[in-house]
Structure 1
Amino acid sequence: MINSDLGPPPAGASVPATGPAKFATVPVAAFAYVPVVAIVSALAGVLTALSWRYGFHRDELYFLVAGDHPAWGYVDQPPLTPIVARATTAVFGDTPAGLRVASTLACAVTVLVVALVARELRGGRRAQVIAAFSAATSVFVLAVGHMVSTSTFDMLAWVVIAWLALRLLRTGDGRLWVAMGAAVGLALENKYLVGILVAALLVAQLALGPRQVLRSRWLGVGVVIAAVVAGPNLWWQAAHGWPEFTVASGISADDGLENRLLFLPMQIVYLSPLFVPIWIAGFLRLWRDPELRWARAMALAYPLLCALVLLAGGKPYYALPLLLVLLAAGCEPVARWMRDRRRVWTVVAAGAVTIMVSGLFSLPVLPPNALSVVNAINKEQGEQVGWPELTSAVAAQWAAIPAEQRSRAVIFTANYGEASALVRYGPRYNLPMPYSGHMSYADWGPPSDAADGPVLVVGLQGDDASEQFFTGCRQVGRVDNGEGVDNEEQNAQIALCSGTAKPWSALWSGLRHY
């Protein structure tokens, strides 16, 4: 749409009957269905072909266990991702490949929507194709598309919300608030991070306009829909004392300084260094181009969002989905620049380099024993290696416990990844269900006080920590993933303790941690 305060609408522009009188429709190019769908299909094919590699990520194992404990919420996340994980494996198989059908589909739709964003911002067919290709080959999109994570669906939700917001601003059709409300509500059922996106977009819209869209009666309808969709989880969080904020504050306390120092470099790396000129061009185009003045607030929203993430000490990738919108905005200038055929080969070469580098850092293409090359940039690669080996190491020490003591013995782990791996792979060794005080495992209950026998403790660091809760502890083993991958569990201690310092029910609150 075009704000009438900036001058009369272009010749031939029509005013929609359902929209405010101050908005005029802006024509958009035809959608480049064939090439965009080809890119999306190729992406889905690559992700599917590699989906079985390495194994489950620690978070994926956790989502599957959480899905077996259905609830309106968990201390560290809303319920959507565990629900999706359980539903996907029920349909496509309880394997990494079966689970990752969900992430593949979410990633493919994300790329499709990024192309639609480029189209909404008056990008022609070539610009739409460049946008789809750029999104499909970025480090961040590939990384979260390979495995199921809350960020996978958060990325999709953000670009959908941004696309709907741009359509609303272009057309002035207030009914789009309904769809935006539903999208925000679903996003809140996955991750609360969408709240800072909504805040940034709202402040930017109030500052730069056009403000007419905020006076639509449909805005109230959208707010109600968002509240209804997100309501059950928000109620759960309120009833449990908002543990999600405790988790978030812990992330900030532990990693806040590092996150702030790495914020700008990681913005560049996670998307792709070769894409920096494109998203900078997109920001400048949104800010300066008179034809896109109606979308200027989207440019301001990005630095506002970055400020909020930096203030909170959040992780650098939190702002990445909105950077995809700036990337889409910059694809039309690139398309114009490529009209000189001599420059096409420069773009083709840059695209080939991007594919190789992004694939190397995001996808499981290297042998596991070579992952040290990429772990510094994307440590999530390494977190997909070694879970069966961890379980085997624990099983060996469990077998060393005298048979007559095992009925009263307990396996206790330091974190949810270890516990979830034992849930997944433990049955093949006849291991009992493990316990942990980490995240939602603490809510799933302590062992019975009658379990007063030996405790096999996995991953707890430091003798003082062990002696505070357990007695007679001695190290009996270490975890070795067999590939030399320096991940979080490599060389984790396995200790055998003679018992607990107090009954489990008395210890449990002290063992809870985030």
Structure 2
Amino acid sequence: MSTYNTHFINITQLHLTTGIRTTEFESEDRQQLNLIILGFGLLKFLIHLFTLEGYGLHADELYYIELSRHLSWGYLDISPFVTWISWISEILFGNATFSFRVLPCLFSSATVIATGYITKLLGGKRLAVIIACSALICSPSFLATSYLLQPAVFDQFFWTLLILAVIAYQQHKKTSWLYLAALALGIGMLNKYSILLLAASILLAILIITPASIGRHVKKLSGPVLLCVFIILPNLIWQFFHGLPILHYTASVGKNNFEIDLWDYLLQLFFFHGASVAIWTAGLIYLWFERKDLEQLKYWTITFLIVTISLTFLKGKLYYGLGIFPLLFAAGGHCWAQMLTRKSISMNIFFIGMIYFFALLSLPIVIPIFSVETCRAYSRKMIALTDFSRPLRYEDGSQGGIPQFFADMTGWQELTSRVNSIANTQISENKKGIYILTNNYAIAGALKFYGKPGIPKVISPDNSFLLYSPDQLNMRTIIYLSKDSPQMVDRLAKNVKLLGKLSTENSHINGLYIYRLIIPSLAMKQKYVMDRIKFYPDYGKKINLFQNISSSGSSSFLTN
């Protein structure tokens, strides 16, 4: 063999060996990155795991749990997904507070994992993933909404999954990613219709940046669109045959919402993420100015602006748009990683450590790690040191001693115990003929959940409870729970007796009166009917197309 051939073979072997080693290194890097991402998902779950009992079930959780006893493809005011999760949770884990919060925590962990993979798709390596996932985990807004049985935590996941699927499709052009996007959008709508705002914002952003690109992908979209329609169709049918109540509810909420203070909204937008604001703002700027895949990345800056401006003018709450922030954390993580790569390891550790440090400071007012009394004292101390009291401002404009979502977890068992005691000791009639009436869905949910066997039937004209309450008040005796004064209630029955008043500081039930009404007056009956009509004008026109299933244990979700 000639010297030339030997030299050629050696070079070839060297290239092959180098290629194999490079592939091995890349494989090892991918595995390490996957482990890091999964590790952050586990960390997110563990942060909440040991505080799931907290102060008790939240007002909204009690409502969703009760609705899960009437499983349906739709409700007057919410999409059904959260009630399905409640139903599954109770079957798998029981009916303790902890039980209803395990699955929400798993979804919040999945959101962290999806954020890690978005970072990876944007070109981020180990440091970028660490920064992005840490920013999401340490954001007070996400900490506060990641463990409750509420649509918000699932909404954040489906928004993030939809964004992940769209970015992956932009890079790989595989139709399978469009089907994943369709799943995220379809199931996301079964959880909360607001995900349509994200989808519409993405499409509008693409039309603004590259309108011609839509036509190139129309053929690929037909299958995913059909899948999305198939998923949401049963809910749309339910809405149609019940008079589209979600439209009335949305309009009603828009009218009743307090005026949005633009400065206050922007203040929340920037500061309710704590130190993570440095990550998402960097991500927003990076998506606009990064030259690689310039047009594709600019979509997302415009998408964020459309979502934020829309929510501002629609008087939406801050958490309605939280699902867009994992993308910004991912982009921000990649941006900061590029800037910190040239810095020392100690500087990187300090930077990431500061994110966690500020998260620890906010922890007592976003996760129930202390007693209510300690939380109240901590909140006072924080206000004294920072002169920042916005986290303690309630929806009605008042100032509380603890955050409102904490207050909405307290007092429910006290309320139920008091009503049980009154029903057993102060009312001698046959309880089958007695009803408990309240105009508050949270109070109704609490009495349903915590009430002992034998408690009078609870009815309410509020929200979807009216579907499972009588059309009219034809009963003789009512235990009436209201914050209306005795002077206002005195005209509502032939005989009105005040049985008690609850005083629980910073609780949803503080100032609640307990009345006994005997022979409700015409005014009371009219008030009850008008409350029902006000919330659901078409309630008398319901079409009994579906049958209730939760009481019979049927596997079908279709219901009245």
**8 Å Cα contact 2:38-2:113 kept in structure 1:** yes
1:101, distance to aligned residue in structure 2 (A): 0.9
**8 Å Cα contact 2:73-2:238 kept in structure 1:** yes
Establish whether residue 102 from structure 1 lines up as the match of residue 92 from structure 2. Answer: no
CA–CA distance in structure 1, aligned partners of residues 192 and 318 of structure 2? 16
1:358, distance to aligned residue in structure 2 (A): 3.7
Of 517, 523, 535 in structure 2, the residue corresponding to residue 497 of structure 1 is 517
| Corresponding letter in the other structure for 1:501 | S
User: Partner of 2:227 in structure 1?
Assistant: 225
Q: Deviations over 1:244-291 (max 9, x none)?
A: 22222232222241365532122123322x122221211111111111
Establish whether residue 395 from structure 1 lines up as the match of residue 420 from structure 2. Answer: yes
User: Partner of 1:33 in structure 2?
Assistant: 34
Establish whether residue 438 from structure 1 lines up as the match of residue 462 from structure 2. Answer: yes
1:451, distance to aligned residue in structure 2 (A): 2.2
Establish whether residue 356 from structure 1 lines up as the match of residue 378 from structure 2. Answer: no
**8 Å Cα contact 1:388-1:425 kept in structure 2:** yes
**8 Å Cα contact 1:75-1:244 kept in structure 2:** yes
1:206, distance to aligned residue in structure 2 (A): 0.9
| Corresponding letter in the other structure for 2:455 | L
CA pair 465-365 structure 1, distance change in 2 beyond 3 A: same
1:116, distance to aligned residue in structure 2 (A): 0.9
**8 Å Cα contact 1:259-1:314 kept in structure 2:** no
Q: Which runs of 5+ in 1 are unaligned?
A: 1-28
Establish whether residue 461 from structure 1 lines up as the match of residue 462 from structure 2. Answer: no
User: Partner of 2:77 in structure 1?
Assistant: 76
User: Partner of 1:385 in structure 2?
Assistant: 410
Runs (4 or more) in structure 1 with deviation over 6 Å come to 503-506
**8 Å Cα contact 2:186-2:228 kept in structure 1:** yes
**8 Å Cα contact 1:81-1:149 kept in structure 2:** yes
Secondary structure class of the residue paired with 2:466:
helix
Q: Deviations over 1:408-453 (max 9, x none)?
A: 222111211101111111116x312211111011111218865212
Q: Choose 283-292 or 402-411, whichever is displaced more.
A: 402-411
**8 Å Cα contact 2:76-2:245 kept in structure 1:** yes
| Corresponding letter in the other structure for 1:491 | G
Q: Deviations over 1:454-476 (max 9, x none)?
A: x1111343457645754433433
CA–CA distance in structure 2, aligned partners of residues 461 and 408 of structure 1? 24
TM-score (normalizing by structure 2): 0.81
1:321, distance to aligned residue in structure 2 (A): 1.3
| Corresponding letter in the other structure for 1:264 | L
User: Partner of 1:15 in structure 2?
Assistant: none
1:175, distance to aligned residue in structure 2 (A): 3.6
Of 348, 351, 354 in structure 2, the residue corresponding to residue 347 of structure 1 is 351
| Corresponding letter in the other structure for 1:419 | A
CA–CA distance in structure 2, aligned partners of residues 214 and 102 of structure 1? 40
| Corresponding letter in the other structure for 2:448 | V
| Corresponding letter in the other structure for 1:209 | T
Secondary structure class of the residue paired with 2:498:
strand
CA pair 370-298 structure 1, distance change in 2 beyond 3 A: same
1:325, distance to aligned residue in structure 2 (A): 1.0
CA–CA distance in structure 1, aligned partners of residues 70 and 106 of structure 2? 25
Of 485, 488, 494 in structure 1, the residue corresponding to residue 508 of structure 2 is 488
| Corresponding letter in the other structure for 1:239 | F
User: Partner of 2:301 in structure 1?
Assistant: 299
CA–CA distance in structure 2, aligned partners of residues 504 and 459 of structure 1? 13
CA–CA distance in structure 2, aligned partners of residues 335 and 69 of structure 1? 49
User: Partner of 1:19 in structure 2?
Assistant: none
**8 Å Cα contact 2:45-2:109 kept in structure 1:** yes
Secondary structure class of the residue paired with 1:258:
coil
CA pair 443-468 structure 1, distance change in 2 beyond 3 A: farther
**8 Å Cα contact 1:184-1:194 kept in structure 2:** yes
CA–CA distance in structure 2, aligned partners of residues 268 and 362 of structure 1? 17
User: Partner of 2:277 in structure 1?
Assistant: 276
Q: How do 1:171-182 residues align onto structure 2 when only pairs under 5 Å count? A: 171-182=172-183
Once the two structures are aligned, what percentage of the paired residues are identical?
A: 20
CA–CA distance in structure 1, aligned partners of residues 426 and 303 of structure 2? 59
Of 251, 256, 259 in structure 2, the residue corresponding to residue 257 of structure 1 is 259
Q: How do 1:2-151 residues align onto structure 2 when only pairs under 5 Å count? A: 30=30, 32-151=33-152
User: Partner of 1:10 in structure 2?
Assistant: none
CA–CA distance in structure 2, aligned partners of residues 36 and 71 of structure 1? 36
| Corresponding letter in the other structure for 1:194 | I
User: Partner of 2:314 in structure 1?
Assistant: 312
| Corresponding letter in the other structure for 2:480 | V
Compare CA radii of gyration and give the structure with the larger one: 2
CA–CA distance in structure 2, aligned partners of residues 370 and 243 of structure 1? 42
CA–CA distance in structure 1, aligned partners of residues 212 and 230 of structure 2? 25
**8 Å Cα contact 1:168-1:174 kept in structure 2:** yes
Q: Deviations over 1:283-325 (max 9, x none)?
A: 1111111113122101100111112112211112212211221
**8 Å Cα contact 1:119-1:128 kept in structure 2:** yes
CA pair 129-447 structure 1, distance change in 2 beyond 3 A: same
1:48, distance to aligned residue in structure 2 (A): 1.4
1:81, distance to aligned residue in structure 2 (A): 0.6
CA–CA distance in structure 2, aligned partners of residues 55 and 68 of structure 1? 20
Q: Choose 464-473 or 167-176, whichever is displaced more.
A: 464-473
Secondary structure class of the residue paired with 2:408:
helix
| Corresponding letter in the other structure for 1:446 | P
User: Partner of 1:475 in structure 2?
Assistant: 498
**8 Å Cα contact 1:73-1:236 kept in structure 2:** yes
CA–CA distance in structure 2, aligned partners of residues 411 and 193 of structure 1? 34
Establish whether residue 242 from structure 1 lines up as the match of residue 267 from structure 2. Answer: no
1:499, distance to aligned residue in structure 2 (A): 2.7
CA pair 491-354 structure 1, distance change in 2 beyond 3 A: same
Higher relative contact order (CA 8 A, sep 6+): 2
1:56, distance to aligned residue in structure 2 (A): 0.9
1:498, distance to aligned residue in structure 2 (A): 2.2
**8 Å Cα contact 1:452-1:500 kept in structure 2:** yes
Q: Which runs of 5+ in 2 are unaligned?
A: 1-28, 380-390, 395-402, 536-560
Establish whether residue 410 from structure 1 lines up as the match of residue 410 from structure 2. Answer: no
Q: Deviations over 1:92-116 (max 9, x none)?
A: 1211111111111001000000111
| Corresponding letter in the other structure for 1:457 | Y
Secondary structure class of the residue paired with 2:276:
helix
